[in-house]
A = this chain, B = another copy of it.
Amino acid sequence: MTPLIDGLQYANWSEKIFRQMRAGGVDAVHVTITYHETFRETVLNIEAWNRWFERFPDLIFQGRSASDVALARETGRTAIFFGAQNPSCIEDDIGLVQVLHTLGLRFMQLTYNNQSLLATGCYESHDSGLTRMGREVVAEMNRVGLVVDMSHSAERSTLEAIAHSTRPIAITHANPFDWHPARRNKSDRVLKELAESGGILGFSLYPHHLKGGSSCSLEDFCQMVARTAEKIGIGALAIGTDLCQDQPDSVVDWMRSGRWTKAVDYGEGSAAAPGFPPMPAWFQDNRDFGAIAKGLGAVGFSAPEVAAIMGGNWLDFFARSFPPAGSAA
């Protein structure tokens, strides 16, 4: 049976949420463990996860390889795969790529909205592409099996990452720009080059990425998926809900403003609506994936196609991406 995998969540973790993952039959989730945190702060976040794993061994465990998805299915648990939304966690030290991979990091964004040491984020006015260090770090990520994620990166940087990376990259949570022209959504060119290189796109349910925002209909969303499949094929398509369940608005402030500004950056929000937007009525938490699968079927996807989008494609991508370069899975 094909697993159910979500390509991005950053919740205010609790037993309640882990139980909802089980109720929803979610076999694996890529969770964000760090944004602007330093290496040491990121390790504190890993320590917090270690305590979750110790407290709830019957609900969750740390995923490290694609085979852990099957283990999750067999043991009725959810495999949690770590990711970073910004490279702050490696500081200016390429050696931390391998160290964090050993600690279980499996995805790392090269940028989060702003210019980083590695590449340019989607909110900068000028995109200078991969930096000198960026090219070195991508090669090191390729070597150890840490996936390059360009969800929050700018166009040229994303295209250069696709071209420079010797392994397929991910855009774990975003939608097509031509459906909803948000800065975080991706151009047809990016989506095509992503798919042609073996990469993967997780469709986002974060309202700022949706046409119509929180009131976007399930049917609209699923028709957008169908149109994307026509453009770039089904093999590159997956889900990355960007579910930020139960988070206080102080968290979205940290995500957007970190320590890089003394002012407030509203990111995709605004002074009038600075907080987390409400999720669509049809996707409130981990128990609602069945609705998406049903919606995909309703717009014409076959059962095997739905299964691929709901997890099979992520599983295949995990298997290709997480082993060190040149090793067997």
Contacts and interface: CB of A to CB of B under 8 A. Distances in A.
A48 B98 CA distance: 11
A209 B103 CA distance: 38
A95 B44 contact: yes
A18 B46 CA distance: 34
B39 A99 contact: no
Interface string A20-55: 000000000000000000011001101110110000
A288 to B, nearest CB: 33
Nearest to A93: B47
Nearest to A48: B95
A99 B47 contact: yes
Nearest to A46: B99
Contacts of A44: 93, 95
**Interface size class, chain A:** 10 to 19
Copies of this protein, total: 2
Contacts of A102: 102-104
A292 interface: no
A39 B43 contact: yes
Residue in A48, A51, A102, A103 whose Cβ sees the most chain B Cβ within 10 Å: A102
A104 B95 CA distance: 16
Nearest to A99: B43
Main secondary structure of the interface of A (DSSP, over half): helix
A96 interface: yes
Contacts of A43: 39, 96, 99
A102 B64 CA distance: 12
Contacts of A104: 102
A47 B96 contact: yes
A98 B47 contact: yes
Contact of A50 (B48, B51, B98, B103): B98
A247 to B, nearest CB: 23
A99 B93 CA distance: 19
Nearest to A38: B40
18 contacts: A39-B40, A39-B43, A40-B40, A43-B99, A44-B93, A44-B95, A46-B99, A47-B93, A47-B96, A47-B98, A47-B99, A50-B95, A50-B98, A51-B95, A99-B103, A102-B102, A102-B104, A103-B103
Interface of A: 39-40, 43-44, 46-48, 50-51, 93, 95-96, 98-99, 102-104
